[in-house]
Amino acid sequence: MNPQEIRRRQYLAAMGIPVWESRTPSVATQVSSPQTANAGGPTESPMPPAPSPGTPGPVSAMGWEDLEQVVRTCRRCGLHSTRTQTVFGTGSRRARWLFVGEAPGAEEDRQGEPFVGRAGQLLNAMLLAMGFKREDVYIANVLKCRPPNNRDPQAEEVLQCEPYLLRQIELIDPGVIVALGRHAAHSLLKTEMALGKLRGQRLSYHGTPMVVTYHPAYLLRNPVDKRKVWDDLCLARDVLESQ
Ligand code: URA
């Protein structure tokens, strides 16, 4: 058994969840070329035409470089005035799995990367338990800037920021989105339905299959629900493998 596998089993034991043997070598990352990688996804070209230099055009047509630059300097909502920096997203741009949280916290705001605080460490453990490294999947948030004092995201902030996430999803074309927590689920699905009711369902976000689960920060407070998250991740895997 290689060291990575030993570590995965140690994490599994620590989380109180059974070993998951993946049926394919890696379901987290696409292995084929970008042109052929998105079987089952939209049939149109995955990449937009390159914009002319200096004029990035609409967000919905941007490539990664322009999108990153526009997010970095975004002033669409008031959060730009309190952020240290924007938190764009991290991981494989060809990932099959996309994890979407609510918004950066204090540590993420400091480091410029999503899920690097305590909740992020638990997310890493969950990923490892599934056989993935953090860089195999893509991790982003609904909001790219930290709401002050970790307050809940406001509807106007979600409205202004969502086109960035939508474009990231179009560019990645993941097989499944896992919405982490109530706020991410409500923002994306435009519903107020209780998380407990949204769990366990095959949902969809702009045509991409989506599954909802508890936020890692919630799990830190309610470790007894780790088992439910494991069930949700198994559902997400089934959704992905059934495509
Ligand atoms: N919580 C989130 O929803 N996102 C992060 O990036 C960190 C904590």
Q: 79 CA distance to ligand 1 centroid (A)?
A: 15
Task: For a ligand 1 pocket test, name from 108, 116, 118, 219 the mutation site with the most ligand atoms within 8 angstroms of its C-beta.
Answer: 108
pTM of the model: 0.84
Q: pLDDT at position 154, please? A: 97
* 8 A C-beta contact, residue 59 and residue 164: yes
| 180 CA closest ligand 1 atom index | 3
Residue 188's Cα: distance from chain center in Å?
Answer: 12
Q: Is 224 helix (H, G, I), strand (E, B) or coil?
A: helix
- Beta carbons within 10 angstroms of residue 49's beta carbon: 9
Q: Is 141 in the pocket of ligand 1 (CB under 6 A)?
A: yes
Q: pLDDT at position 53, please? A: 55
Q: pLDDT at position 52, please? A: 53
Return d(Cα 166, Cα 172) in angstroms, integer.
10
Q: pLDDT at position 227, please? A: 95
Q: pLDDT at position 69, please? A: 98
Q: Is 89 in the pocket of ligand 1 (CB under 6 A)?
A: no
Dihedral-angle region of residue 91 (phi above 0 means left; psi in -120 to 50 means alpha; beta otherwise): left
Task: For a ligand 1 pocket test, name from 123, 157, 215, 221 the mutation site with the most ligand atoms within 8 angstroms of its C-beta.
Answer: 215
Q: 33 CA distance to ligand 1 centroid (A)?
A: 31
| 181 CA closest ligand 1 atom index | 3
Q: What is the pLDDT of residues 17-32, one digit of tens each?
A: 666 665 554 545 543 3
Token duo for residue 215: 């936020």
Q: What is the pLDDT of residues 82-122, one digit of tens each?
A: 999 999 999 999 999 999 999 999 999 999 999 999 999 99
* 8 A C-beta contact, residue 87 and residue 141: yes
Dihedral angle over CA of 116, 37, 235, 21, nearest 10: -80
Ranges of residues in the chain with a pLDDT under 70 are 3-4, 7-8, 10-55
Q: Is 105 in the pocket of ligand 1 (CB under 6 A)?
A: yes
Q: For the residues of 6-17, what is the DSSP string, one character each?
A: HHHHHHHHHHT-
Return d(Cα 115, Cα 101) in angstroms, integer.
8
Q: pLDDT at position 85, please? A: 98
Q: pLDDT at position 43, please? A: 37
Query: CA angle at residue 224 from 12 to 123, to 5 degrees?
Result: 50
Q: pLDDT at position 54, please? A: 60
Q: pLDDT at position 2, please? A: 75
Domains along the chain with CATH numbers? 3-15+46-241 (3.40.470.10)
Q: 108 CA distance to ligand 1 centroid (A)?
A: 7
Return d(Cα 86, Cα 70) in angstroms, integer.
10
Q: Is 108 in the pocket of ligand 1 (CB under 6 A)?
A: yes
Q: Is the dihedral of CA 63, 65, 66, 70 positive or negative?
A: positive
Q: Is 124 in the pocket of ligand 1 (CB under 6 A)?
A: no
| 87 CA closest ligand 1 atom index | 6
Exposure of 230 in the CB half-sphere (CA atoms within 13 A): 19
